[in-house]
Structure 1
């Protein structure tokens, strides 16, 4: 990370998955002040844009992390304009100097994030940015970090239903790196995760696993907060 100084006020684009969590951990370790989490919610689905997760589960993560959470209401058609408008408001509200994203190596994602940040006059940070061949080591870092995550979504073209509900642990690592056509970190959308505990959490997010839904090109494991 370069540019913003330590103690800069940073918003973090938050999907609820391992990449977001790793980004948060790296920001905190580097001395940045993460002042809020930002999660987009397209009105077409009424769930998070990134993973299609229920809003109450994202709220539970934010509460366990003791961080303010801001949902960005948007539509697929006006997504970028909605994001820029909301980010401008949060810049004024929180005194933002930067926004951080958990992207790893997809240039088009970095270009989009950098563009919206420039439109608002803040810096775009990519703490996890790496070469594609670094994703195996990155996954091992997460597995060894103490954070806990479960697989909640898989792409039909990449992984079977049996991967849903698996813990992202050493056994998961050993198996996923054998899948030669799959990025170990799932950067191509091969799988998505939900982080529910770890070093930055004040307490675990308790949940129960529900039904598996077949969507257009993916399968999703429904989670529900434990009563």
Structure 2
């Protein structure tokens, strides 16, 4: 019998790699878990529209569970949600796509422990492995686009770029973590081996935020995958 787990989901490359790795290791991902600030209709992690996260859930045929919270209630609400999912789906663990930041792992392990489930980190590695992890993603067949950049390290020319061989080469010329583990850039995955449908993104515009710049899509829809 496969172990049932939930997966913390931002919509980007890391959580998608975590999903793929979990499946390859024999786990069944019962649901994807995404935190959203109350009444904003966007995700906590990347500021993405919840509608775009729902499209990913449909394309992957995995239920999405949104956790409404504030910054102050983030941890408490996360624990409550995992406990609910434990009863609803009989999950034994909650997985995260974090790579090497110890403070992130400590938080996730504390949350899992409080909810009475295991914490899984299928991508956990050393900082030096970030380049090879990015190479693995580029070669995986998943398709992702850069949707947000930290302006202190990357300019707006990086917005809208696909994570391909060209991106792989250019990111090595910067001083950032190749995987953007410290939030240097965020991505949105719109197609790949696990997707039954492709998400088409249209009519993009740049949005200036406090310390970041974001690529916002005016329309998005599911299409039959070309696979």
Deviation per CA, 1:129-174: give whole Å up to 9, x if none. Answer: 0100000000000000000000000001110000000000000000
Superposed CA RMSD in Å reads: 1.1
Partner SS, residue 190 of structure 2: strand
Pairing 1:47-62 to 2, within 5 Å after superposition: 47-62=42-57
Q: 1:145 aligns with which of 135, 140, 144?
A: 140
CA distance in 1, matches of 2:123, 2:203: 29
Tell me the equivalent position of 2:66. 71
1:91 aligns with 2:83: no
Deviation per CA, 1:95-147: give whole Å up to 9, x if none. Answer: 01001000000000000000000001100000000100000000000000000
CA distance in 2, matches of 1:226, 1:138: 28
Pairing 1:119-134 to 2, within 5 Å after superposition: 119-134=114-129
Q: 1:207 aligns with which of 196, 201, 205?
A: 201
CA distance in 2, matches of 1:162, 1:88: 42
CA distance in 2, matches of 1:107, 1:44: 31
Tell me the equivalent position of 2:225. none
Q: 1:21 aligns with which of 9, 16, 20?
A: 16
Q: List, as ranges, runs of 4+ consecutive aligned residues in structure 1 with deviation greater than 4 Å.
A: none
Deviation per CA, 1:14-59: give whole Å up to 9, x if none. Answer: 0000000000000011110110000000126431011000011000
- 1:97–1:122: 8 Å Cα contact kept in structure 2? yes
- 2:35–2:67: 8 Å Cα contact kept in structure 1? yes
CA distance in 2, matches of 1:225, 1:65: 19
Tell me the equivalent position of 2:102. 107
Partner SS, residue 226 of structure 1: strand
Q: 2:213 aligns with which of 219, 222, 227?
A: 219
Tell me the equivalent position of 2:29. 34
Q: How many residues align?
A: 221
CA distance in 2, matches of 1:223, 1:70: 23
- 1:186–1:192: 8 Å Cα contact kept in structure 2? yes
Q: 1:81 aligns with which of 76, 82, 87?
A: 76
State the TM-score, normalizing by the size of structure 1.
Answer: 0.95
Q: 1:193 aligns with which of 174, 187, 192?
A: 187
Unmatched runs of 5 consecutive residues or more in structure 1: 1-5
How far residue 86 of structure 1 moved from its aligned partner, in angstroms, is 1.2
Unmatched runs of 5 consecutive residues or more in structure 2: 222-227
Q: 1:117 aligns with which of 108, 112, 117?
A: 112
CA distance in 2, matches of 1:112, 1:84: 11
